[in-house]
Amino acid sequence: MTVSFDRFAAELRYEDLPEAVLWTLRRSFTDTMGVAAVGSTTPLSAIVRRTAPMIFGAGEAGAARILMDGRPVSPVGAAMAGAFTVDSIDAHDGTTPCKGHGGSALFPALIAMAQASEQPLDGKRFAEVSATGYEVAYRAGLAQHATCADYHTSGAWTAVGVAAAGAKLLGGDAEQIRQAAGIGEYHGPRSQMMRCIDHPSMVRDGVGWGAPSGVTAAYLAMEGFTGAPALTCEGEESAEFWADLGTGWRLVDHTHYKAYPCCRWAHPSLDAVHDMMRDNALHHEQIDSVEIRTFHYATRLAGQEPQTQDEFAYAIAFPVAAMIARGQVGVEELTDAALRDPDILRLSRATTLIDDPEMTRISIDKRWAQVTLVLKDGRRIEDAPRTPRGDADMPLSDAQISDKFHMLADPVIGQARADEIEALSGSFDSLSAPDLSRLLTLCSDPADRAS
């Protein structure tokens, strides 16, 4: 018999969580904080961190501190600023079937609510609410994509997961969690993802408003505000996505991690050109042009000449050109100097994206691309169609997650602080309440921009 999502959320205990769930949550915690650190250096983050204290001052719910900033605001303000900060660098964990991201909303929101809570949380409790948030968000996202014609941002369905997890964190019962999810779904941002892809800007993936919408929903539900049912959780058309709730775990099956700080749709092509350049001992000056066959949505991320970090995030041609020219796509490739690099620009302008119907047909649970390098001597080197590293069938190792975390975090917060965050987040579910508080403090202290 299928358990209802609200009962699942209310009754879930740490002892119910399989090791695979805990392993995924630990990796996501570490990975997300690395992205938060480098995200705090972006103009987008600076704007939202200035704005949050203006409009979301701390009130009776208690004070929370903005990630990598430290200023005290309300839990809603900290969730907003934190989610925008993480989302400002497109390197956080994601779910391919939902075409979006969970941790970028869930961690900023739940960290904020934990800091504001009158009852200190230990690691086991934080694991319970985090697992609830991920599982509800992912399944709501699957239901939404299956039942809505438009492609909405992650904010639309992470608002549901944050609301359910937030109400659980506040001590809500099943009915209060049910109402919170309904409020979160109704008021969550049904923003159009392809608009931001076609016209990149700072609105990004919608989590900057999905996270605070979910937090607000949780507090409203605890005060008696009603909003159920959430159709993505209780609608007849959504039932199939909840059938194995409590026995299957979408957060394990579907969570991927990014090797590069740009849209996931570029990653199979990035993996391809990295391997092709290495395996054929090629230098970027030998490359005349690049052809990328991929699925329809991805062809709308052409991005030959991005002018900002926001345009870089939603591009394929430029990151692929950077990989060819520099052999990497990391923090240095996010700089203004990299956006003006003549070697990268030459290759980016010479990259063509081809809308391939077969790639579109098969790009459902995975993202497919096939790359051909055209050399100046007339040779064509073709790679086989591939999907990106980081999915469950080709996971990044713990060592690769660690390397990525330090690549993103160390230059911003220093290696010593990064080491402590990694150690604590990598075992967060075993922490006492004081030790979890220490971890959340480390994640919320100002980023000192270490040299």
pLDDT in tens, 256-268: 999 999 999 999 9
Q: How far apart are CA 165 and CA 126, in angstroms?
A: 10
Enter the tokens of residue 423: 């150690």
Strand 287-294 and strand 351-355: the pairing is parallel
Phi-psi region of 70 (alpha: psi -120 to 50; beta: other; left: phi over 0): left
Identify whether the C-beta of residue 161 lies closer than 8 Å to the C-beta of residue 140: yes
Condensed to tens digits (0 to 9), the pLDDT of residues 271-298 reads: 999 999 999 999 999 999 999 999 999 9
Q: How far apart are CA 449 and CA 412, in angstroms?
A: 4
Q: How far apart are CA 306 and CA 320, in angstroms?
A: 13
Residue keyed to tokens 């042009």: 289
Condensed to tens digits (0 to 9), the pLDDT of residues 229-249 reads: 999 999 999 999 999 999 999
Q: Which residues contact 89 (CB under 8 A, 6 or more apart)?
A: 35, 38, 39, 42, 261, 309, 313, 334, 408
Please give the model's pTM, rounded to 2 decimal places: 0.95
Identify whether the C-beta of residue 95 lies closer than 8 Å to the C-beta of residue 101: yes
The per-residue DSSP string of 160-202 comes to HHHHHHHHHHTT--HHHHHHHHHHHHHHS---BHHHHHHS--T
Dihedral of alpha carbons 9, 401, 212, 449, sign: positive
Query: What percent of the chain is modeled with pLDDT above 70?
Result: 99
Strand 72-73 and strand 94-95: the pairing is unpaired
Residue keyed to tokens 């956006």: 339
Burial (0-12, 13-18, 19+ Cβ within 10 Å), 343: middle
Q: How far apart are CA 26 and CA 133, in angstroms?
A: 14
Q: How far apart are CA 387 and CA 366, in angstroms?
A: 6
Condensed to tens digits (0 to 9), the pLDDT of residues 58-89 reads: 999 999 999 999 999 999 999 999 999 999 99
The amino acid present at 372, given as its one-letter code, is T
SS3 of residue 245 by DSSP: strand
Condensed to tens digits (0 to 9), the pLDDT of residues 11-62 reads: 999 999 999 999 999 999 999 999 999 999 999 999 999 999 999 999 999 9
pLDDT score of 107: 98
Strand 72-73 and strand 255-256: the pairing is unpaired
Neighbours of 434 (CB within 10 A): 9
